[in-house]
Structure formats: structure tokens, C-alpha cells
Structure 1
Amino acid sequence: MNGALTEQLLSAARARLGETPRERIGELQEGRRLLGIPRPARIVARGTAWHLGVLLLTDDGVLATGDIVRSRAEVRRGFAAESQRRRAELAAAAARGGVPEGETVHIGWHPIDPARLDAASSPLAVRGDDALVRWSAAGGYMPLERYLDERIDLLRHPPERA
């Protein structure tokens, strides 16, 4: 396979991003019991990455994005939907994990090995001599180089009021 081309494009993207701000990546740790009393879950920091759409680019790897949570202090309130309750629990878990209020943290991500791309579980693929990215589950593939160019440009020059 042509994982070398994919890795070359990702390395070039890292060089172009340089000092561009990164976002936190974390891992949800369910609360343990302490003296029989359950402790609440928290999100533990696992590093930082550049958020490029469906990809999170770290210094030495690439991850597929999962959920994005904005840290918020825990507040008791009623919810119309269970999904709202879960999002609020994750936001509170981020705050308990030390993420400053209002900042985002990525959870549920998974690593991608550019040398062994599996189209079923990865947004990256190689077809022939082309490195490709699937930008949504229902979307088609587009050239990785063009995708990275667009995403890096958006990250470095966000639209007004974004």
C-alpha cells in the first residue's frame, strides 16, 4: 500500500501548522468506588492535536475524531432528552478532569495507522497512488492533499465570527 504517501502528506501538514493553536484530546475514565461510594467520571488529558475535520493530527500520529465536548461546571437541571443529559455529564466530566470551562476536549477518538488503512474503520484510504479521506460517513472520498489544504486554511484563517 501507499502509506508512505499518506505519512508524507501528514508530515507536511504538521510543518505548515507550526504554532497554530491545538485542542485538547482526552479519555473518559469512569468513576471508581472509594470506600464503596461511586466517584463521578472525569475526562483525563491525553495531549493536544490540531483539529482538521474528521482528523486529529498530533506531533507523531493521526487520530479519527470522536465526540467533542465543551467543559462546563455541573449543574442540576431537567432534560427533555437522554442525549442532553449525557452531553451535560460529559461536559461536567471534562471540568472535573481539569479542562478550563468553555474549552473543548476531544474524546472517543481512535488512532489511525497510515501504513495499514482499513476503509471500514478509518476515514483515510489509499486507492492506487492516491491518498484519500472520507469527510463524512455518507460522503465520498476526496484527495487527502486537497482536504488538508482546505482544513489548514480554515484553521489558520477562520471565517468571521467562527
Structure 2
Amino acid sequence: MSLFALFDSARTRLQVIPREGLGELIEPARILGIRRAPRIVSRGWVWHLGAILLSEDAVYATGDIIRAHEEVRRGYPAESQRRRAELAAAARRGGFAEGQTVHLGWTPIDLAAVGEGAASGPLALVAGVPSVRWSAMGGFVPLEGYVEERISLLLHPPLGMGETPH
């Protein structure tokens, strides 16, 4: 199955699953020397398949993931927590709903290049088989099985702790 056919089939199966936001951080220009708050604006909607984000017409490598939240003033024990809170507030200012998942730092994947043997993002041909590196330290696994597993998890999520089947 070609890469394009694989992702077209995935899109068809994922139509019943809600998509998540694809965002871009915008740092507004200063007005009269006054810094304006950054915001994260929508660049579309995607299904999150682990290391891959799939939109209606493109495939992206996953970057950072945040949830949009209203800005809250409080102390943070770590600078990284402060930065995540700032990004969550920027997503809210940019129009994302409270609690909505937003993907940042994503990069487009060139499926044609992968099909010709080049790597693009987490995708590459390994021994002629389209494969995905599911983590920075992980090895490559066949893409078709990886996508199938991710779709299955979205369609049939495992029961969380404390939940009982209906």
C-alpha cells in the first residue's frame, strides 16, 4: 500500500474521532513600545497518531502538546511549568476553547520524499518498508501496523482506572 493510500484509508476510518487543534505561536509586534501578549492561532485540525499528526490533506511530525487554559497568576517551582502555563494562556487568547488540546512545533512530512527513499520527520523507508520512528530514542517500526494500532486505540480506548464497562 502506498503512503498516500495508507493515510487516505486512515482519514476515512478516523472521521468519527474528534480532531485536535494545530496551532502556531504568534508574537505580536510592539505598539508604541508596549509588548502585547503572544497568542496561538489555529492552523487547522488534526488527528493525533502518536509521532504523526494527520489532517485532511497533510501529515505532520508531532511537536509539543498543550491544553488551552485561561491565564492564572501563581508561582511555579520550575521555569518549564511557567512556560507551559504561558503557552496554555496564549492558546486560549488565540481562540482555542478551554481545555482543548493544541499541537505546537509540528513540522510537515514530505510523503513523496519518503516514497523515494528519503527520510522526512519520523518517517523513512527501511528495507523498502515505510516505517516510523515512534520516539527520539526508539527504533523504526513498520508504519502500516503503527497507524493501525493508533487508530484502534482512538476507536477503542482502554478503560481508565476506576471505570467499568457498560
Same fold? TM cut 0.5: yes
Runs of 4+ that moved beyond 4 A: none
Q: Are 2:12 and 1:15 aligned?
A: yes
Alignment partner, residue 34 of structure 1: 31
CA RMSD of aligned residues (A): 1.5
> Helix, strand or coil: the match of 1:73?
coil
Choose between structure 1 and 2 for higher RCO, CA contacts under 8 A separated by at least 6 residues.
Answer: 1
**For 1:8-34, what per-residue CA distance to the aligned partner results, in whole angstroms no more than 9, with x for missing partners?**
211111122123211110100013212
Distance 2:15 2:67 in 1: 24
Following superposition, the deviation at residue 159 of structure 1 comes to: 1.4
The residue aligned with 1:93 is: 90
- Residue 130 of structure 2: aligned partner: 131
Partner of 2:141: 142
Shift of residue 150, structure 1, vs aligned partner: 0.4
TM-score normalised by L of structure 2: 0.90
| Corresponding pairs, count | 158
CA distance in 2, matches of 1:161, 1:109: 28
Q: Corresponding residue for 1:67?
A: 64
The DSSP-based 3-state class of the residue aligned with 1:19 is coil
What is the identity, as a one-letter code, of the residue corresponding to 2:52? L
In the alignment, which residue of structure 2 is the partner of 1:161? 160
Which segment drifts farther, 105-114 or 32-41? 32-41
1:161 is displaced (CA, Å) by 2.9
Using the alignment, how far apart are the partners of 2:152 and 2:111 within structure 1?
Answer: 23
User: Which structure 1 segments of 5+ residues have no match?
Assistant: none
The yes-or-no answer on 1:107 pairing with 2:104 is yes
Q: Contact (CA 8 Å) 2:107, 2:121: kept in 1 or not?
A: no
Give the unaligned 5+ runs of structure 2. Answer: 162-166
Query: Identity across aligned pairs (percent)?
Result: 59
Shift of 1:79: 1.2
Q: Does the residue aligned with 1:37 lie in a helix, a strand or coil? A: coil
Could you state the TM-score of these two structures normalised by the residue count of structure 1? 0.92
Which digits, 9 at most, give the CA deviation of each residue in 1:19-64, with x for residues without a partner?
A: 3211110100013212221101000001101100010001111000
The aligned amino acid for 1:32 is: A
Structure 1 CA distance for aligned equivalents of residues 134 and 127 of structure 2: 19
Contact 2:69 2:88 in 1 (8 A): yes
Residues 58-83 of structure 1, C-alpha deviation per residue, up to 9 Å, x if partnerless? Answer: 11110001000111111111111111
